[in-house]
């Protein structure tokens, strides 16, 4: 049986995977409430997941910037 913490982590990781694969847009994600809930359960895991999510968002934005640059040329 999965704990609440494990389920939240799976949902956050799924959102990051969707960004990486391009199947989800940043606007479609609703990760902040999940991160807030994780913060109440386990601050160390929250910090780790928050850093991973921020990296995924930055990678997503860089990917979009590169795609826009290609369209200009």
Buried-exposed string 9-37: b where 16+ CB fall within 10 A, e elsewhere: bebbeebbebbeeeebeeeebebeebeee
The number of folded domains in the chain is 1
- Does pTM top 0.75 for this prediction? yes
| Structure-token pair, residue 45 | 């895991």
pLDDT tens readout for residues 4-49: 999 999 999 999 999 999 899 989 999 999 999 999 999 999 999 9
Structural domain boundaries, residue 28 = 4-72
């Amino acid at each position: 049986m999965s704990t609440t913490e494990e389920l939240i982590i799976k949902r956050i990781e799924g959102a990051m995977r969707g960004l990486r694969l391009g199947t989800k847009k940043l606007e479609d994600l609703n990760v902040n409430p999940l991160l807030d809930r994780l913060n109440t359960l386990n601050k160390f895991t929250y910090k780790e997941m928050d850093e991973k999510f921020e990296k995924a968002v930055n990678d997503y934005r860089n990917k979009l910037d590169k795609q826009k640059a290609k369209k200009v040329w």
